[in-house]
Amino acid sequence: MNRVVVVGAGVLGLTVAHELAVAGHRVHVVADRAARDSVSAVAAAIWFPHAVALEPDVLESSRVTYDRLTKLADDPATGVVMRSGLVRVRRAETDLSWTSAVPWHEPVAEGVRCTVPVVETSRYLSWLGARVAALGVSTTWGTVSLPGRQGAEALPAAVAAIIGEQPDAVVVAAGLRSGALLGGDDEVYPIRGQVVRLANPGLTEWVTDEDNPGGLTYVVPRTDDVVCGGTGQIGDRDETIDPATEEAILRRVRELVPALADQPVLSRAVGLRPARTNRRLEMIGELVACYGHGGSGFTLSWGDAARVAELLG
């Protein structure tokens, strides 16, 4: 049984902490913000590999996560529901390898219809946090930083200074900050995502349209609202709401789903997806890198957490 510190408390950090605790490790989470304040809370959180390279191990983690979320959907307390919908396909060369992880999918004229898990983020993150705590995982709120030009080898000591104990291993799942904590990985970059949440007029089916001429467009109904997006602004770190962007999003989603035409705005948000040239999941000495998931944090979470647990034995 090892003392493992997980840096980050978004959906990846919490899921990794869960699987490590189940595996018998003593786990401590260190983070500068709670899941409800992270980009995970902004996500539409539909199972779909978005803004991540579809490599074989990514597809395998997607499949494992699909299966796990499907099981969790049996418990209403988790906030996971299975919903059918449409992936609009506008280009013949669109990569559809993700369908290998989806038990039911059907090609149609507009694209691909399929059934996937949809996560209601506030309920799910609350449930996951409670499960992690029940497993004995402790949490310390603080910012891990490496002063000056210190490399990743200084990370365990920086973590020990916060929790008062030297860890046997450190898992870096800190989103955009992960690259800096592992020696200045300059392949990490933000993808700005803006969403607007409308009242739900009774919709149950979702639709995504990545190649919409007006920009990335998706409509994901939840119990009490509909998450409408979006944007995919690479390199943009602006977390303020842009009214013009919201207006453009509303035009696109209401054209795609006319039933949304008269629905009032309930809330709005911006999040920075932590992307990388390729998602990074590997062990470096006593450190484990688990970041760069782009818009696929929920989609890869359980599969990647299982791989981290495997790397740490």
Residues 49-73 have pLDDT tens digits of 999 999 999 999 999 999 999 999 9
Number of C-beta neighbours around residue 127 at 10 A: 17
The pLDDT tens digits for 247-293 are: 999 999 999 999 999 999 999 999 999 999 999 999 999 999 999 99
pLDDT at 165: 94
- Please answer whether residues 15 and 305 qualify as being in contact, where contact means their C-beta atoms are separated by less than 8 angstroms: yes
pLDDT at 90: 97
The pLDDT tens digits for 32-54 are: 999 999 999 999 999 999 999 99
Q: Which domain holds residue 111?
A: 3-311
Residue among 188, 37, 179, 180 nearest 122 (CA): 37
The pLDDT tens digits for 159-195 are: 999 999 999 999 999 999 999 999 879 999 999 999 9
pLDDT at 150: 77
pLDDT at 184: 79
Calculate the average pLDDT of the chain. Answer: 96
- Please answer whether residues 81 and 120 qualify as being in contact, where contact means their C-beta atoms are separated by less than 8 angstroms: yes
pLDDT at 45: 97
How many separate domains does the chain show? 1
| CATH number of 100's domain | 3.30.9.10
Averaged pLDDT, 237-243: 98
* Model confidence at 215: pLDDT above 70: yes
d(CA 1, CA 20): 10
Averaged pLDDT, 115-127: 98
pLDDT at 146: 86
pLDDT at 149: 66
pLDDT at 261: 97
Which of the four pLDDT bands, split at 50, 70 and 90, describes residue 148? Answer: low
pTM of the model: 0.97
